[in-house]
């Protein structure tokens, strides 16, 4: 009897609950819409009253933009407002394309100079060189202009003319250039590390990144490579579909690469490989570091999850968020975070919890104790919540303070420029190194130039002295402190000897860039790269690579 009564009342009760649930859902939605409408109305009313009553004239465009940007900053760093006037810059970021002369401009305090002409584009083809000081663009004097203003003058519709006047040492030179469509290469350099090992530097994930990587790999294979290093260091990411296509070069058709999951159904999507791989067996090492983010982490993470590559370097950035560009009125846009992404093992690499950060008022990261374990295809344990951990961690190179100072003070930059105009051409950036005589000339070049600095030990002693004074220990240890300071005070001349090898490497790379531009600087740096050395350890010992990729925690 109880059972019958129970069944009689369950269905009506369930119906009531469903109706109430629907009402609650409808009410909650209405409440959100009312709150949204109310606040929009308040904002519009506030702007009207400010425009009418504020004591000075207000710039409504500027004020509203500041308000929007402040509001979006509360969400996460990737949700951005893009007004109409910035839409071209945004398009360039996502496509890597613009129309101009193809040169990176920078300001050194005494004016704007050419930092890097891009190979094969108008500025470089016409003979504009690194360190040329910009004087005018057409009839506009640019010596007092900001870098952004100069860049804007250099850009323009493709196939239009622009005259650029520069100062090079004591000479004033003018160049008549024709603006062209500039497509910044996603692969600024590729080559061979040795007879059998290829290397591809992938700098960005803009349009055609996967096509460029494919072409580079095909070319290297035609040269007889049998193993590959894919360098994703300092690559902040970009287009998800390009990341999927790059993974597809190395893993079979039909495999899941990344899954996006958000609040709305239309942002939920599973990306799979759709093509036959270019090479599913070539031994592969992927280099990552703390700046490798987003699409870089999708590529590195997917290849790690399928045990297809050994990862070498440093833990990646930890950006597991996906952004979508949405159109607004008056040709404005908003780039908004719409989903999180999950790589094949099921883990999300997002390191910062922005929802918790908003509540606590400070950046909240996922604690190690809450990071979850996942498994790769071969059963290796990998963790979520804090970027991609490399299979072999390489400690970051620590440069001496004197090296930082010489670079920051532009002394190495200036010496490389002087070297370029006084010497015979460099033949190969991979083999080029400055001579002992060159280094002696550099030391003489520094004579009379300011490049003072504080060493790590000196800084530690300064901190100790401050704490001692605060805690009344200073008088007791003053003599000992002075004795230690007199022993560790740096000697610039001695530091130029002690850190000579490191400084020579930096100078060699800077000089290589004068002859071979961006490609030369990258190629030269490979000669002294600890990550490359670690990668070669695996590619020269395939048994080590296999054991690493099959080492299960079980």
CA distances from 173 to 76, 116, 167, 195, 516 (A): 47, 18, 6, 43, 21
Which entry of 180, 201, 315, 319 is annotated as an active-site residue?
A: 319
Annotated catalytic, 319?
yes
Q: What is the chain's percent helix, strand, coil content, to nearest 5?
A: 45, 20, 35
Which entry of 76, 132, 231, 305 is annotated as an active-site residue?
A: 305
Q: Which of 210, 230, 201, 244 lies closest to 343, judged by CA?
A: 244
* DSSP string over 329-347: GGG-EEEEEEEEEE-TTS-
* Residues 422 and 351 sit within 8 Å (Cβ to Cβ): no
Which entry of 185, 294, 316, 403 is annotated as an active-site residue?
A: 294
Q: Which residues contact 552 (CB under 8 A, 6 or more apart)?
A: 378, 379, 380
The beta strands (E) that lie in 144-196 are given as 161-168, 171-178, 180-183, 189-192
> d(Cα 210, Cα 202) in Å, to the nearest integer?
10
CA atoms within 13 A on the CB side of 446: 22
Segment 208-214 long-range contacts (CB within 8 Å, at least 24 positions apart)? 208/96, 208/183, 208/242, 209/238, 209/239, 209/242, 209/245, 209/246, 210/242, 210/245, 210/246, 210/248, 210/249, 212/185, 212/186, 212/187, 213/186, 213/187, 213/246, 213/249, 214/249, 214/278
Annotated catalytic, 305?
yes
> d(Cα 184, Cα 205) in Å, to the nearest integer?
11
Q: Which residues contact 376 (CB under 8 A, 6 or more apart)?
A: 304, 305, 306, 307, 345, 382
Tokens 């295809």 correspond to 377
Q: Which of 545, 554, 547, 244 lies closest to 375, judged by CA?
A: 554
Annotated catalytic, 508?
no
What is the number of other CB atoms lying within 10 angstroms of the CB of residue 348?
A: 20
Alpha helices in 74-208 (DSSP H): 87-95, 122-126, 147-154
> d(Cα 97, Cα 99) in Å, to the nearest integer?
7
Point out the residues that are catalytic.
Answer: 294, 305, 319
């Amino acid at each position: 009897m109880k059972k019958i009564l129970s069944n009689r009342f369950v269905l009506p009760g369930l119906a009531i609950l469903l109706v109430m649930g629907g009402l609650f859902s409808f009410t909650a939605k209405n409440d959100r819409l009312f709150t949204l409408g109310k606040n929009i109305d308040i904002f519009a009313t506030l702007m009207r009253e400010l425009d009418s009553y504020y004591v000075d004239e207000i710039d409504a465009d500027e004020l509203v933009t500041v308000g929007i940007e402040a509001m979006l900053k509360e969400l996460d760093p990737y949700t951005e407002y893009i007004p109409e006037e910035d839409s071209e810059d945004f398009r360039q970021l996502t496509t890597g394309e613009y129309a101009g002369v193809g040169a990176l401009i920078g300001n050194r305090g005494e004016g704007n100079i050419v930092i890097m002409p891009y190979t094969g584009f108008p500025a470089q083809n016409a003979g504009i060189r690194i360190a040329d000081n910009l004087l005018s663009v057409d009839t506009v004097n640019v010596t007092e202009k900001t870098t952004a203003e100069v860049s804007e003058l250099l850009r323009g519709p493709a196939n239009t003319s622009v005259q650029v006047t520069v100062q090079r040492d004591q000479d004033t030179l003018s160049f008549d250039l024709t603006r062209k469509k500039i497509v910044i290469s996603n692969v600024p350099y590729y080559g061979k590390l040795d007879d059998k090992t290829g290397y591809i530097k992938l700098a960005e994930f803009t349009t055609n990144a996967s096509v460029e990587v494919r072409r580079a790999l095909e070319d290297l294979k035609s040269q007889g490579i049998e193993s590959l290093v894919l360098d994703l260091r300092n690559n902040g990411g970009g287009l998800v579909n390009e990341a999927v296509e790059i993974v597809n070069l190395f893993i079979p058709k039909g495999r899941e690469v990344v899954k996006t999951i958000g609040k709305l159904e239309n942002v939920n999507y599973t990306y799979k490989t759709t093509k036959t791989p270019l090479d599913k067996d070539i031994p592969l090492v992927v280099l990552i570091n703390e700046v490798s983010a987003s699409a870089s982490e999708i590529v590195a993470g997917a290849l790690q999850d399928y045990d297809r590559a050994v990862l070498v370097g440093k833990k990646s950035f930890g950006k597991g968020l996906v952004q979508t560009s949405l159109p607004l009125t008056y040709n404005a846009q908003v780039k908004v975070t719409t989903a999180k992404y999950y790589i094949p093992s099921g883990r999300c690499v997002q390191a910062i919890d922005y929802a918790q950060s908003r509540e606590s008022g400070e950046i909240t990261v996922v604690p190690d104790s809450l990071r979850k374990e996942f498994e790769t295809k071969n059963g290796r344990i990998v963790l979520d919540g804090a970027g991609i951990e490399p299979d072999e961690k390489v400690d970051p190179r620590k440069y001496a303070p004197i090296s930082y100072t010489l670079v920051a003070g532009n002394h190495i930059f200036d010496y490389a420029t002087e070297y370029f105009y006084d010497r015979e051409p460099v033949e190969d950036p991979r083999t080029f190194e400055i001579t002992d005589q060159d280094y002696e000339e550099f030391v003489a070049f520094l004579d009379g130039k300011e490049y003072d600095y504080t060493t790590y030990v000196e800084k530690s002693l300064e901190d100790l002295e401050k704490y001692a004074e605060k805690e009344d220990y200073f008088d007791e240890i003053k003599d000992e402190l002075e004795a230690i300071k007199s022993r560790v005070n740096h000697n610039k001349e001695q530091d130029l000897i002690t850190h000579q090898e490191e400084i020579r490497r930096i100078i060699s790379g800077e000089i290589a860039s004068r002859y071979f531009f961006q490609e030369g600087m990258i190629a030269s740096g490979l000669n002294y790269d600890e990550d490359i050395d670690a990668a070669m350890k695996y590619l020269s010992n395939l048994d080590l690579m296999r054991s690493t990729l099959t080492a299960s925690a079980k």
